[in-house]
Amino acid sequence: MIQQLFTIVFTTSFAYSILRVSTPIILAGMAAVVSERAGVVNIAIEGMMLTSALTGVVVSAGTRSWFTGLLASLLISIFMSLILAYFILNLKANTIMCGLAINTIAKGGTVFALYLLTGNKGASTALKSLTVPQLDIPLIKNIPVIGEILSGQNLLTYLAVILVALLHVFIFHTRMGIRISAVGENARAVESVGISVKKTRYMALLISGLFSGLAGTFMSMGYMSGFTANMTSGRGFIALAANSMGQNTPWGTLLAALIFGAADSASNSLQVLKIPTQFIQMIPYATTILGITLYSIQRSNKEKKTKTKLLNQE
């Protein structure tokens, strides 16, 4: 059995699928990083992903251009994040409730719209939608093992990795990025030096919406070609978990997303083994809970240490 396991895991197609499966979680994970840094737990990522997944399909089918489809889905996602921001920041609504409400509307609204457009509640097969192209990378393509894994991925997969690097620079090396983190750490202190907390959070949620849009587009125009009802199936929440595991940093979250992707791909290919399928399908979720637990333990220990330190100083 162990041998069988090895032959599954150590194949190039397995590694290729990890990258593919992880992409939406990496992108949505970045959405979680930015908002969480600004002190907003953005549960609406799931709903924004779902809405942009449908928008991408509909617009690309209508305009015959994947690029306009992508653009439209980014716009709708950003628009939704601004609505969320308005309710949280201007109307002081509860963040989690607002996120849940947006998810509920998105879940029903996408099926509602799909039914009105195609007469089908399940899938968008009636729409001839396009996909974001896959890229063959010239030199890497010819390297034996690495080429098979890294080349031929979806354009959005490469974009995801580049954006992780850019987001890292943005958060740690630009004024705006540092402000966002400061707002999340201590909003009152930031307010006291004359920076608008509200504006900063708006900015963070806007970026979060952009990343959610990319993640959603990948779902319907890369991972699959076409929209199916509730196709994000909790990836927005897994992204929040990946962000917890990755300790609110872009690279950490990328790593967590890859671990999740690996567990997910493994659960797909391990189904040939004699363990009941359902237990294998639990692996990714169990991994995530374990990751969150370890992170939370570490964080609460750290807090305790600082507390005792401060008490001793007095």
Partner 1 sequence: MNRKREAFFNAMSVFIAVLAALLVTLIIIFCVSDEPVEALKAFITGPVSTRRRMGNVVEAMIPLVFTGLAACVMFQAKQFSLIGDGSFLVGALGTAVLVLHFDLPPVVAPLLGIILGGMVGGICAVIPGYLKAKWNANEFVVSMMFNSILVYFTVYVLLNDIRDPDSGFLASFTLPENAKLAVLVSKTNVHAGIFAALFMVVVTTIFMYKTKWGYSIRMVGINPKFAKYSGINTFMVMFSCQIIGGFIAGIGGSVELLGMYDRFQWQDTPGYGFDGMTVAILAANNPALVPIGALFLAYIRVGTDVMARTSNIPNEAVNIIQGIIMILITASAFLSGIKHRMVIHSAKEEKKQVKEAT
Instruction: List contacts with partner 1 (CB under 8 A).
Output: 41, 43, 87, 90-94, 96-98, 100-105, 107-109, 111-112, 115-116, 121, 234, 237-238, 240-241, 244, 276, 278-279, 281-282, 285-286, 288-289, 292-293, 295-297, 299-300
CB of 97 to partner 1, least distance (A): 4
Sign of CA dihedral 6, 12, 13, 15: positive
Task: For partner 1, give the closer residue by CB, 140 or 283.
Answer: 283
The H-or-E segment that residue 157 falls in is helix 155-173
Task: For partner 1, give the closer residue by CB, 145 or 289.
Answer: 289
CB of 224 to partner 1, least distance (A): 20
CB of 151 to partner 1, least distance (A): 33
Task: For partner 1, give the closer residue by CB, 206 or 282.
Answer: 282
CB of 36 to partner 1, least distance (A): 10
CB of 291 to partner 1, least distance (A): 10
Taking each helix axis from N to C end, the angle separating 66-85 and 197-218, rounded to the nearest 10 degrees, works out to: 140
Q: What is the DSSP letter of 226?
A: S
**Which of 64, 113, 99, 60 minimizes the C-alpha distance to 220?**
60
Instruction: Report the C-alpha gap between 82 and 63 in whole angstroms.
Output: 26
Task: For partner 1, give the closer residue by CB, 94 or 174.
Answer: 94
Q: Compute CA distances 228 → 21, 126, 219, 224, 281, whole Å.
A: 17, 12, 10, 9, 21
CB of 169 to partner 1, least distance (A): 27
Task: For partner 1, give the closer residue by CB, 82 or 100.
Answer: 100
DSSP string, 36-104: HHTT---TTHHHHHHHHHHHHHHHHHHHS-HHHHHHHHHHHHHHHHHHHHIIIIIS---HHHHHHHHHH
Task: For partner 1, give the closer residue by CB, 93 or 187.
Answer: 93
